[in-house]
Chain A
């Protein structure tokens, strides 16, 4: 049996702090809580952190803080962990134009579940989602909280280009594309919001820990 949380080296410039090995809200909250702790009480030498579903990657400068010292500091921070993050992140509302050319897979998702497109939209706008992590491409937000009745497999052949702002479903996840990239998610709509604008003071609309609700634009 693996004891969690545990600290493992990622080469000589990072550690990963693992809280478990499953995708569940409880672990995401622990990762984000620990991330918030490190932001509130910074460890000298930490360059950046990357929260994901059940681990926090801590990138550090070994010339500033040797590995053994960093591991000890992380161990102490874990011992003093105040608990998991509550819904401290912001609530971001995302207007979506569902279906049509902006949501070419809405009908397929409906057909797959023997629902009408309107029922898919109703289920998709009913949940409050949590941003578990960003990744895959700049600004791409992985959201937790998709109604299991909407879980749909990926496209068998990914699209070579998905428009920025596209809202998709893949398996039991939903997400929003920030940039135009290739992608295999089922696209059910598009938001006119700009998720990534490099010249904004906060370039990214979403970050790990935020809550998200979709509404019909």
Chain B
């Protein structure tokens, strides 16, 4: 069991995501920073999609009722296991009953905690990923609270033997407060004037505090449409940049609606989504258009 003593600002159970249900209106959910999430699982010997915790802004305090191998990846947190300082991006042993406490955060917004074996809540439509707007998945479809107990699968090996592995800095995303995200223009590029596309590609956009797991809401120079700013609803994936009539772009994230009626000026490359996931309100992004197949002009 993982016992939650203090939940932090927003801590949810996430696994690889709920795939195959988008056609029924169910988004994938899952981690906003899939790279950090998978690294944490790899460090403790789990399958890449094993269920762990997504920790947002301020971290929790928790303990585990058995000896466990744990890893925290993503934003940097000052971590303490009992009295020991524990590094992030590193596999360490947490003794049964020892308290893991998240302290000050730097360089990023979210971190992922993986425990060997993985969390073992009942899946909902085949996944443990928490979808807050639908109030399902994870722990009763909600963020964790003090007093919650999360069941764990048994560990597969001796945690002491596997501890002490570091995730090489060269394999970590280079989080920064002003990243440039690579995008592929379209599919509704025609809904925008040349000037609108130029505005989008040549100006910084600031992350708004109203962002959540559904979408990163950005503010900056208004992107001008050629028409009314709404199109016929079609399918949406994480990374799609919708531009409502007010011209302020929204990048859809893991809890996105399955279909959308605002034109999509561009889509962020999947590999760049972790950089967006680690931004804090007030941070700025720029967008750079790339070709899907280099040299192909498309």
**Chain A residues near B (Cβ < 8 Å):** 2, 8-14, 16, 18, 21-23, 47-57, 59, 67-68, 133-140, 142, 178-179, 198, 203-204, 207-208
Contacts and interface: CB of A to CB of B under 8 A. Distances in A.
Given A11-B270, A57-B237, A59-B22, A21 B187 contact: no
Nearest to B187: A8
B235 A57 contact: yes
Contact of B186 (A8, A139, A204): A8
Given A8-B187, A68-B293, A136 B237 contact: no
Closest 5 CB pairs of A and B: A57-B235, A11-B267, A135-B259, A50-B235, A8-B187
Contacts of A2: 190
Contacts of A55: 232, 234-235
B232 A136 contact: no
A50 B258 contact: yes
The prevalent SS among residues of B at the interface is loop
B234 A49 contact: no
Contacts of B183: 11
Central interface residue in B237, B240, B268, by most chain A CB within 10 Å: B237
A135 B261 CA distance: 11
A13 to B, nearest CB: 5
Contacts of B264: 10
B19 A11 contact: no
B25 A136 contact: yes
Nearest to A132: B233
Central interface residue in B190, B234, B270, B292, by most chain A CB within 10 Å: B234
Contact of A50 (B23, B267, B292): B23
A16 B239 CA distance: 14
Given A53-B234, A133-B259, A198-B124, A11 B23 contact: no
B270 A10 contact: no
Nearest to B292: A9
A47 B270 contact: no
Given A10-B267, A16-B187, 12 more contacts: A2-B190, A10-B184, A48-B20, A52-B233, A55-B235, A57-B22, A68-B296, A134-B258, A135-B259, A136-B259, A137-B25, A139-B25
A10 B240 contact: yes
A178 B269 CA distance: 32
A14 B231 CA distance: 19
A59 B238 CA distance: 11
Contacts of B167: none
Contact of B134 (A68, A138, A203): A138
Interface of B: 19-26, 124-125, 133-134, 136, 183-184, 186-187, 190, 231-237, 239-240, 257-259, 264, 267-271, 292-293, 296, 298
A67 B231 CA distance: 26
B259 A11 contact: no
22 contacts: A8-B186, A10-B186, A10-B237, A11-B237, A11-B239, A47-B19, A48-B19, A48-B21, A49-B23, A50-B23, A50-B234, A50-B235, A52-B235, A55-B234, A56-B235, A57-B237, A133-B233, A134-B258, A135-B235, A135-B259, A136-B257, A207-B23
Contact of A134 (B20, B24, B239, B293): B24
Nearest to A15: B187
A59 B259 contact: no
B237 A14 contact: yes
Contact of B293 (A59, A67, A136, A137): A67
A135 B257 contact: yes
Contact of B240 (A11, A142, A204): A11
Contacts of A142: 233
